[in-house]
Amino acid sequence: MALAPSFTSVDADGKRLRFVAEYRAVVMATTCVGILAVDFASIFPRSNAKTEEFGYSGMDLGTGCILCATAVCSKQARGTVSGSRPAALAKRLFSLWPVLAIGLSRLALLRGIDYHVPTSEYGVHWNFFFTITVVALVSTALDLGPMASLIAGVATLSGYQLFLSSLGGAHFILHAPRVDLFSANREGALSCAGFLSLHWLSVALGSLLRPGMRPAAQTTALLLLAALVSAAATALMESMGLRVSRRMCNLPYVTFAISVNAWVLALLAFLDLWAGRPRARMSLTLGGIQDSMLAAFLAANIFTGAVNVSLQPLLVPFWPALAIMALYCLCWSVPFAVLNSCGRDLKFW
């Protein structure tokens, strides 16, 4: 079968590419499944749980994928000007209240029920929702276009890695005592530099996905090239002793996250060109998830918290755990499928 000359889209005017929508939906769906599945020792391999200091795991990759998936479709990636920066920043701050609310609620709930969360993940009080807020506010305040984002991402990541490798940053994050509020949350606070760099580099990656800018086959090739270069850079750094660390969100972690996301985008782009025409409509569930990504993530976290409060997942046998996971997936995903069937979404970032 010959490859199609152009990508398919999920809207009438062709501005939303189908393979990008599929990528966003797959990233969020797998992340939402993973955040609860990891708590069930009977069904989730411990080797894919979050690493303590260095290494690769499925759960470590989730945070990077979420930031990448939001950045590749951001206004900056599309080259859209936000207008007044103070107004845009105020609007963004207001729109992030659900994220902050979930982050604060999670902190209060986990401390209230004395639920064990490794401090090595983000620190004593920090969590990923606070990281999302910091990245969103800084990126909105600076409002960089694709090329400026690429430069800012490389510069920030280089400076941050210099701090980690040559100025004692890595030792501070991994081994320093927790004597004050900053040192208690050093993983979360300092890794924001790495995650912000990942956001900016993903904006640059997303600029390759603008419809009509270049032939579809060339876009696919560029995505594959980005994946190969990032993977080679990660492997080279590993061979030199600079290992991947999600805890620090260091340089090799960022290149690893870029390589995986670029590879998935390239694969889905190729499959879209290879598939017959016309293509069947995306499922309501995947369509709803990609339309309301952050809302789906928040909903999944709420249900995850409810499950963890109600029982002890680590002690649940395989078949009951599988049944709980199936019910959980229905509870957080069906509402978004219904919204999609009605042509509605829940967007605030």
pLDDT digits (tens, 9 = 90+) for 274-318: 998 888 889 999 999 999 988 898 899 889 988 988 888 889 999
Share above pLDDT 90 across residues of the chain, in percent, rounded to a whole number = 63
Two tokens, residue 288: 């709803």
Tell whether 60 is covered by a domain. Answer: no
Tell whether 253 is covered by a domain. Answer: yes
What does 30-67 look like in DSSP terms, one character per residue? HHHHHHHHTT-TTTS-GGGSPPSSS---HHHHHHHHHH
| Alpha-carbon span 301 to 307, nearest angstrom | 10
Question: Poorest-confidence range of 21-35, 73-87, 143-157?
Answer: 73-87
The burial class, CB within 10 Å (0-12 / 13-18 / 19+), for 175 is exposed
User: Residue 297's Cα: distance from chain center in Å?
Assistant: 10
For the entire predicted model, the pTM comes to: 0.91
- Rounded average pLDDT over 162-169: 96
- Among residues 268, 299, 319, the one where a domain terminates is 268
- Among residues 268, 302, 323, the one where a domain terminates is 268
The pLDDT confidence band at residue 132, using thresholds 50, 70 and 90, is very high
- Among residues 268, 285, 317, the one where a domain terminates is 268
Look at residue 270 and tell me whether its pLDDT is greater than 70. Answer: yes
3 state SS of 253: helix
pLDDT of residue 190: 97
Kindly state whether residues 171 and 229 are assigned to the same domain: yes
What is the residue-averaged pLDDT of the chain?
A: 90
pLDDT of residue 113: 61
pLDDT of residue 94: 75
Pair 187, 169: CB distance under 8 Å: no
pLDDT of residue 153: 97
Could you tell me the residue range of the domain that residue 228 belongs to?
A: 77-268
3 state SS of 219: helix
Look at residue 87 and tell me whether its pLDDT is greater than 60. Answer: yes
| Alpha-carbon span 254 to 156, nearest angstrom | 12
Angle (nearest 5°) at CA 332 between 349 and 348: 10
pLDDT of residue 349: 53
pLDDT of residue 58: 86
- Rounded average pLDDT over 127-150: 92
136-148 CB burial, b ≥16 within 10 A, e <16: bebbbeebbbbee
pLDDT of residue 3: 79
More confident residue, 323 or 13: 323
Tell whether 67 is covered by a domain. Answer: no
- Rounded average pLDDT over 200-215: 92
The pLDDT confidence band at residue 228, using thresholds 50, 70 and 90, is very high
Kindly state whether residues 201 and 326 are assigned to the same domain: no
Tell whether 264 is covered by a domain. Answer: yes
Q: How many domains does the chain have?
A: 2
Look at residue 78 and tell me whether its pLDDT is greater than 90. Answer: no
Tell whether 61 is covered by a domain. Answer: no
Tell whether 59 is covered by a domain. Answer: no
- Rounded average pLDDT over 236-253: 96
Kindly state whether residues 225 and 261 are assigned to the same domain: yes
Tell whether 63 is covered by a domain. Answer: no
Tell whether 69 is covered by a domain. Answer: no
| Alpha-carbon span 324 to 292, nearest angstrom | 24
